[in-house]
Structure 1
Amino acid sequence: MRWILSLILNALALMLIDYLFDSFTIDGFWIALIASVILAVLNAIVRPILVILTLPITIVTLGLFLLVINAFTLWMTQGLLGSNFVIDGFGMAFIAAILFSIMNLFINSVMKD
């Protein structure tokens, strides 16, 4: 039940980013929910592999390279969803990843209580 609520809140976070930026487009809540599921799967499978492969640069940048990895997984998500979820460029994916990470910190702190 907690996982489903987290997916819904992540979908709402993606829709908020869509509202804030013209170069980040999601065609409705259901696409945002599907994107949230895909992003969760990519974060569970692909992200750990990327973190291990980029560990030296992550250490040198004091962990800031993890934002690039988050942007890459978000960009991969939009690649899998096609024209229903569009991010115009990696720069927008990077900005969206920063905002999404901040929102996830808030969501996770609320979910723990």
Structure 2
Amino acid sequence: MKLILKWLLTAAAVFLLANFLSGVTVDGYTTALIVSVILAVLNLFVKPILVIFTLPITILTLGLFLLVINAIIILLASNLISGFHVNGIWTAIIFSILLSILESILHSLIKED
């Protein structure tokens, strides 16, 4: 049940940020639900591979390159989903940061057992 609630909260965060940021567009709430699923799958399978391949530059930048990796994941999701569009890398970085902050706030509202 908590997984579904977290999925819905992430979709709400994506939808809210798409209305807030000018460079991000989402066609509707259904598309936001799909975006949240695709982002979860990409973070599960693609992100660890990118982190391993870019480990030297991540260490060199003291972890700041992970923001670029998150932006790449968001741009990849934008290419995979027709109703979701992000204008550029900087918009994706800002979207990634704000999505992480909003998700942590929303997920903290859920009581843990």
User: Do these two structures clear the TM 0.5 threshold for a shared fold by scoring above it?
Assistant: yes
Query: Percent identity, aligned pairs only?
Result: 49
- Per the TM alignment, residue 108 of structure 1 is displaced from its structure 2 partner at its CA by 3.7
Residue 57 (structure 2) aligns with: 57
C-alpha distance after superposition, 1:52-97 (max 9, x if no partner) = 1111111122211111111111111110012x11111111111101
Structure 2: segments with no counterpart, 5+ residues: none
Separation in structure 2 between the aligned mates of residue 46 and residue 112 of structure 1, nearest angstrom? 30
Mapped contact 2:9–2:107 kept (Cα < 8 A): no
Deviates more, 1:31-40 or 1:60-69: 60-69
- Superposition pairs of residues 1-113 of structure 1, within 5 angstroms: 1-82=1-82, 84-111=83-110, 113=112
How many residues are treated as equivalent by the alignment? 112
Deviates more, 1:41-50 or 1:95-104: 95-104
Are the structure 2 counterparts of residues 111 and 66 from structure 1 closer, same or farther at C-alpha, using a change threshold of 3 Å? farther
- Per the TM alignment, residue 106 of structure 1 is displaced from its structure 2 partner at its CA by 2.1
- Per the TM alignment, residue 37 of structure 1 is displaced from its structure 2 partner at its CA by 0.3
Query: What RMSD over aligned residues (CA atoms) do the two structures have, in Å?
Result: 1.3
Separation in structure 2 between the aligned mates of residue 108 and residue 61 of structure 1, nearest angstrom? 29
Structure number with the higher helix fraction is 1
Deviates more, 1:50-59 or 1:37-46: 50-59
- Per the TM alignment, residue 3 of structure 1 is displaced from its structure 2 partner at its CA by 1.5
Mapped contact 2:39–2:74 kept (Cα < 8 A): yes
Structure 1: segments with no counterpart, 5+ residues: none
Which consecutive segments of 4 or more residues in structure 1 shift more than 6 A?
Answer: none
Mapped contact 2:24–2:85 kept (Cα < 8 A): yes
Separation in structure 1 between the aligned mates of residue 30 and residue 59 of structure 2, nearest angstrom? 37
